[in-house]
Amino acid sequence: MNYKPWYAVSELVDNALASFLANRTRLAKKPYRQDYVTVKISFDRGAGEIEVWDDAGGIAGIDVPRAFRPAEPPPDTSGLAQFGIGMKSAACWYSNYFVVTSTALGESVRRTVTFDVPKIVDGHIEALPIGIAKALDEEHGTTLTMSQLNRPIPTGKTLGKVRQYLASIYRQYLRDGVLVLEVGEKGLAYEEPDILRARRWDDAEGSRTKLWRKNLEISLPSGKEVTGWAALRAKGSTSEAGLALLFRGKVVVGAGGPAGDVEGLFRPQQIFGAPNSFVSQRLVGELDVSAMDVAHSKDAILWDGEEEQFLDVLRQALDKGSKPLPRMALNYRATEKGPAVDEELSRAVEATLTAAGESGSDDPGPPENNDSPPAETKDTIGGKFRLPVSGSDIEISFSVVVGSGRIWVRVRDADGGHMIEVDRAHPFMQSFAHLPGQEVEPVLRLAAALGIAEIEARQAGVADPGTVRSRLNHLLQGPLAHTTMNEIEEAGK
């Protein structure tokens, strides 16, 4: 099995959930009075052990032979436990030695089975002894302890990623209060994305705002139904946007968003376009695909030839009605104001100033041209730096403004020095360096370098030092200022 740590652990959580749901009615009654299952995943780095504990229904005596036999499906395959391989394969992937201890509801017997994988393989062992001990009448649940690990115990970022993935995978069960999940002594909760509330892009100023979320019902040619919802994030994110496909309440595809893992996202190009498109930064949603079949690894949907039809119908459903999500994502621009935006912009300007101040050169570069008059601007953020040019120490002001949006970079003389001005209302900035949600610093550094090169050329007496910048500003009034031609065409519809 080609597991990742979070998917391997999820096999064990699946078993606990399946056991709880199968015994839910009994657990709700006396003496248990239990309406949710708790799963605790703990790590003992000193002993080199991983333990997964649950208080579900346990493994009944009659089910023990089947439960420990590989690829032996349970009698009821309508839940998360379908194939009869999850616990065994996950435990073997993680370790060479594991012990399963379980007490079934109402049996007052604690059963223990020990798996020494190398010994079983080398000795061609086909049957294992079952240890039996007395248990309390109210005791129930299962504990699996893995040692002689094949994989390191997760720590640091990996542990954080395991937590984020598991919270995402089991978001529905966590929301519903059916599951309490603890990983490394920390309880997990799924953080819901903030949904955009704004007026439609083509409505007049002051129009009523809408919550950009819609329910979906999709019928496939086979008659199978896919239901769920889709929405636009209030704040764009290239690493967190995407759709999640749920099978019987569990996310099997697209769980990577909360972990910031692009590889774990479901963002088909037919729906999301290019990786840096506005749709790929904002569109989120959850779709119940339980009508389909799932791969035995539980990380892929078996579409049976209907995936293209599904994506085509989904694309149409997302774009129709009074809330056309893709078109809103393409046309909507959040107001670039607020403390968080100003803080990020100030940080980017400061970094650009520092880098620009270390960029002096006596090489004047190619001939360029003079500049047009300055624009009326507002919301200026900037600073100054000094730069040695042609033997003189000159002062240069660098600022980011909200201007007319016509000219990206201006360079002009100001107060005995020089000024470089970047207009963040320009379409190029809106497409590639829009806040919040995109990186602005690389674009500011490029603009600063362009301005410095022109100032150096002026100081060296080069004729028409602003020619390149003027032509660049002209070119960036057209298609180069947008992410893709596809988006330009869509935005015009």
pLDDT of residue 444: 92
- To the nearest whole percent, how much of the chain has pLDDT over 90? 55
Name the band, by pLDDT with cuts 50, 70 and 90, for residue 491.
very low
pLDDT of residue 245: 95
pLDDT of residue 67: 79
Residues in the chain: 493
pLDDT of residue 406: 87
Pick the closest to residue 348 from 463, 434, 221 (CA basis).
Answer: 434
Predicted structure pTM score: 0.71
pLDDT of residue 376: 55
Q: What is the pLDDT of residues 63-96, one digit of tens each?
A: 888 777 765 666 666 656 654 567 888 999 999 9
Mean pLDDT confidence for 98-104: 96
Q: What is the pLDDT of residues 29-48, one digit of tens each?
A: 988 999 999 999 999 999 99
Q: Whole-angstrom Cα distance, residue 417 to residue 396?
A: 6
pLDDT of residue 490: 43
Q: What is the pLDDT of residues 321-342, one digit of tens each?
A: 999 999 999 888 765 556 767 7
Name the band, by pLDDT with cuts 50, 70 and 90, for residue 358.
low
In Å, how far from its chain's centre is CA 11? 21
Mean pLDDT confidence for 51-68: 90
Residue 220 has pLDDT above 80, yes or no: yes
Name the band, by pLDDT with cuts 50, 70 and 90, for residue 282.
very high
pLDDT of residue 372: 45
pLDDT of residue 414: 80
pLDDT of residue 80: 63
Name the band, by pLDDT with cuts 50, 70 and 90, for residue 232.
very high
Residue 25 has pLDDT above 60, yes or no: yes
Q: What is the pLDDT of residues 197-216, one digit of tens each?
A: 999 988 988 889 999 999 99
Q: What does pLDDT average to over the chain? A: 86
pLDDT of residue 374: 47
Name the band, by pLDDT with cuts 50, 70 and 90, for residue 403.
confident
Residue 432 has pLDDT above 90, yes or no: no
pLDDT of residue 368: 38
Residue 316 has pLDDT above 70, yes or no: yes
Mean pLDDT confidence for 111-117: 95
pLDDT of residue 231: 98
pLDDT of residue 367: 41
- Structural domains of the chain, ranges and CATH numbers in brackets: 5-186 (3.30.565.10), 197-331 (3.30.230), 339-485 (no CATH)
Instruction: Give the 3-state secondary structure of the chain.
Output: CCCCHHHHHHHHHHHHHHHHHHCHHHHCCCCCCCCCEEEEEEEECCCCEEEEEECCCCCCHHHHHHHCCCCCCCCCCCCCCCCCCHHHHHHHHHEEEEEEEEECCCCCEEEEEEEEHHHHHHCCCCCCCCEEEECCCCCCEEEEEEEEECCCCCCHHHHHHHHHHHHHHCHHHHHCCCEEEEECCEECCCCCCCECEECCCCCCCCCCCEECEEEEEEECCCCCEEEEEEEEECCCCCCCCEEEEEECCEEEECCCHHHCCHHHCECCHHHHCCCCCHHHHHEEEEEECCCCEECCCCCCEECCCCHHHHHHHHHHHHHCCCCCHHHHHHHCCCCCCCHHHHHHHHHHHHHHHHHHHCCCCCCCCCCCCCCCCCCCCEEEEEEEEEEEECCEEEEEEEEEEECCCCCCEEEEEECCEEEEEEECCCHHHHHHCCCCCCCCHHHHHHHHHHHHHHHHHHHCCCCCCCHHHHHHHHHCCCHHHCCCHHHHHHHCC
Residue 407 has pLDDT above 80, yes or no: yes
Q: Which residue has the higher pLDDT, 301 or 53?
A: 53
Q: What is the pLDDT of residues 468-480, one digit of tens each?
A: 999 998 888 877 7
Name the band, by pLDDT with cuts 50, 70 and 90, for residue 364.
very low
141 within 8 A of 53, measured Cβ to Cβ: yes
Residue 58 has pLDDT above 80, yes or no: yes
Q: What is the pLDDT of residues 239-277, one digit of tens each?
A: 899 999 999 999 999 999 888 788 888 999 999 988 778
Name the band, by pLDDT with cuts 50, 70 and 90, for residue 121.
very high
